[in-house]
């Protein structure tokens, strides 16, 4: 079974590589550390709380910067490139710092790459996704733009050559969701760039009609339920669009998978290629089709962080749709979303107080396994913002769902007590 934990750059800068690796190896008993090569626009920890063992910061806000110094040349042939963090611009390489310390603790470091999401410099407006009203989302590349394919290949193979590793974790191979620097439903209704519009035309989607429907939905989210129950032409257009999005991501994933196999052959290595996916109930809404993607990697981590609503921050989604003030509206929207996503019977109030039940972890893991066939499903285990004694239930739930691995999330957001809990569980499991 794969056992891993994910770390962010500020964990290592603020605590020092030695402290991080020693806590991970000695307290949590974990030997695989997955290090972020680029951050997201995100509050750490998310969405609330404090970094309890960080000696310098209580809270860190990151900006989707890239963390690999000297990487600008990887993107020399493209009109845009990722923006380096101030530390990486000065030549600091926190991943190399981890790699230097890891052997002393019998640990290994793996890179965690964000494929389509990042802060970019240069002419990214040609390549980034657009909402139906034409707004550019500059931090997200369109999967159908030919330059995106070239960017992601340069990124993945640049990183693999910089940090040779037993496996690589490729994240954010999907469309934007509703969270980012701010919460926005419109942000998840992409992409309407010229490439996508002409491809949608070819696949028979009436782009003008689709834009009208999305505009109407934004103004009155309840319309969606009417369209769903009528099973009429509105629903057909929307379904065709979701299929189009899934195929767009699958097609890019297939090109990467092919390139990965060629790269391995050329290098004579066996580096495994893993994807980071949304839990199966949410994934198709973001362009991720499990049965197809299961053929295009050796394994995938999904993140059914139940306290947060499947890693998806459902509360933010419900409030954005129903409005902050409308309790009745929030309850109603939540009920519809929960039934759509097969989350079980649960009121919004119950969800706000307790999150999703732990059984969500087993259900989603099993669902992923069924879709992936012989390939592996690793389950993200939430170890922050939950009672320490619930960590063991969560691990057991993942195992019940047939998980091939446990990826603990994440080092900096968890308390040291939570790391100790993980360590105790893993030690008892070995006996
Ligand atoms: Zn596009």
pLDDT above 70 (res 188)? yes
Whole-number Å distance, alpha carbon 248 to ligand 1 midpoint, is: 9
pLDDT at 180: 67
Closest CA to 135 of 189, 195, 63, 65: 189
Mean pLDDT computed over 233-237 = 94
Whole-number Å distance, alpha carbon 418 to ligand 1 midpoint, is: 42
Query: pLDDT digits over 12-62, tens only?
Result: 999 999 999 999 999 999 999 999 999 999 899 988 899 999 999 999 999
Question: What percentage of the chain has pLDDT greater than the value 90?
Answer: 76
Number of domains in the chain: 1
Instruction: Report d(CA 330, CA 253) in Å as an integer.
Output: 36
pLDDT at 308: 66
Mean pLDDT of the chain: 93
Is residue 336 assigned to a domain? no
Instruction: Report d(CA 28, CA 425) in Å as an integer.
Output: 9
Whole-number Å distance, alpha carbon 175 to ligand 1 midpoint, is: 10
Is residue 425 assigned to a domain? yes
In terms of DSSP bridges, do strands 32-36 and 2-7 run parallel, antiparallel, or are they unpaired? parallel
Whole-number Å distance, alpha carbon 41 to ligand 1 midpoint, is: 21
Question: What percentage of the chain has pLDDT greater than the value 70?
Answer: 98
Instruction: Report d(CA 82, CA 68) in Å as an integer.
Output: 10
Does residue 329 or residue 207 have the better pLDDT? Answer: 207
Q: Are 147 and 74 in contact (CB under 8 A)?
A: no
Whole-number Å distance, alpha carbon 191 to ligand 1 midpoint, is: 5
pLDDT above 90 (res 337)? no
Is residue 329 assigned to a domain? no
Task: Domain of residue 421: give its range.
Answer: 2-310+356-430
Whole-number Å distance, alpha carbon 196 to ligand 1 midpoint, is: 4
Whole-number Å distance, alpha carbon 197 to ligand 1 midpoint, is: 7
Least confident of 136-145, 151-160, 356-365: 356-365
Whole-number Å distance, alpha carbon 263 to ligand 1 midpoint, is: 27
Is residue 325 assigned to a domain? no
Whole-number Å distance, alpha carbon 253 to ligand 1 midpoint, is: 15
Whole-number Å distance, alpha carbon 128 to ligand 1 midpoint, is: 7
Identify the band that residue 91 occupies on the pLDDT scale cut at 50, 70 and 90. very high
Q: Which two tokens stand for residue 105?
A: 């603790």
Is residue 374 assigned to a domain? yes
pLDDT above 60 (res 431)? no
Instruction: Report d(CA 112, CA 159) in Å as an integer.
Output: 9
Q: Are 299 and 375 in contact (CB under 8 A)?
A: yes
Is residue 74 assigned to a domain? yes
pLDDT above 90 (res 429)? no
Instruction: Give the predicted TM-score (pTM) of the model.
Output: 0.94
Whole-number Å distance, alpha carbon 157 to ligand 1 midpoint, is: 24
Q: Which two tokens stand for residue 43?
A: 């509050």
Least confident of 258-262, 324-328, 401-405, 420-424: 324-328
Is residue 349 assigned to a domain? no
Residue 333 host element (H or E): helix 327-340
Is residue 351 assigned to a domain? no
Whole-number Å distance, alpha carbon 77 to ligand 1 midpoint, is: 21
Residue for token pair 């509050």: 43
Whole-number Å distance, alpha carbon 145 to ligand 1 midpoint, is: 6
Does residue 282 or residue 274 have the better pLDDT? Answer: 274
**CA-only gyration radius of the chain, Å:** 21
CATH of the domain at 150: 3.20.20.80
């Amino acid at each position: 079974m794969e056992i891993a934990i994910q770390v962010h750059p500020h964990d290592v800068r603020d605590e020092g590589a030695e402290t991080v690796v020693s806590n991970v190896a000695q307290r949590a008993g974990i030997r695989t550390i997955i290090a972020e090569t680029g951050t997201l626009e995100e509050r750490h920890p998310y969405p609330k709380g404090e970094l309890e063992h960080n000696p310098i910061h209580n809270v860190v806000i990151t900006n989707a910067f890239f963390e690999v110094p000297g990487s600008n040349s990887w993107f020399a042939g493209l009109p845009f490139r990722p923006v380096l963090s101030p530390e990486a611009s000065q030549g600091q390489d926190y991943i190399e710092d981890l790699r230097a310390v890891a052997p002393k603790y019998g640990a290994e470091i793996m890179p965690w790459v964000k494929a389509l999401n990042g802060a970019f410099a240069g002419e990214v407006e040609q390549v980034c996704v657009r909402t139906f009203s034409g707004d550019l989302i500059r931090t997200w590349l369109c999967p159908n733009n030919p330059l995106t394919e070239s960017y992601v290949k340069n990124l993945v193979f640049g990183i693999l050559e910089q940090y040779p590793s037993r496996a690589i974790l490729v994240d954010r191979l999907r469309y934007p969701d509703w969270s980012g620097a701010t919460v926005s439903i419109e942000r998840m209704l992409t992409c309407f760039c010229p490439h996508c519009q002409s491809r949608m035309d070819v696949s028979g989607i009436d782009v003008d009609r689709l834009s009208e429907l999305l505009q109407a939905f934004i103004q009155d989210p309840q319309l969606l339920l009417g369209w769903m129950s009528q099973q009429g032409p509105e629903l057909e257009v929307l379904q065709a669009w979701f299929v189009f999005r899934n195929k767009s991501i699958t097609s890019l994933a297939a090109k990467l998978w092919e390139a990965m196999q060629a790269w391995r052959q050329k290098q004579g290595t066996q580096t495994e290629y893993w994807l980071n996916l949304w839990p199966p109930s949410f994934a198709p809404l973001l362009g991720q089709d499990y049965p197809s993607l299961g053929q295009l990697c050796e394994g995938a981590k999904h993140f059914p962080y139940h306290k947060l609503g499947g890693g998806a921050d459902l509360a933010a989604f419900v409030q954005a749709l129903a409005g902050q003030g409308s309790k009745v509206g929030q309850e109603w929207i939540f009920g519809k979303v929960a039934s759509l996503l097969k989350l079980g019977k649960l009121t919004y109030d119950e969800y706000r107080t307790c999150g999703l039940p732990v059984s969500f972890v087993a259900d989603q893991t099993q669902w992923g396994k069924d879709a992936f066939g012989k390939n592996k499903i690793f389950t993200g285990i939430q170890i922050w913002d939950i009672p320490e004694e619930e960590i063991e239930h969560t691990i057991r739930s993942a195992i019940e769902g047939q998980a091939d691995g446990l990826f603990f999330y994440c080092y900096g957001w968890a308390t040291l007590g939570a790391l100790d809990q993980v360590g105790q569980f893993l030690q008892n499991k070995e006996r």
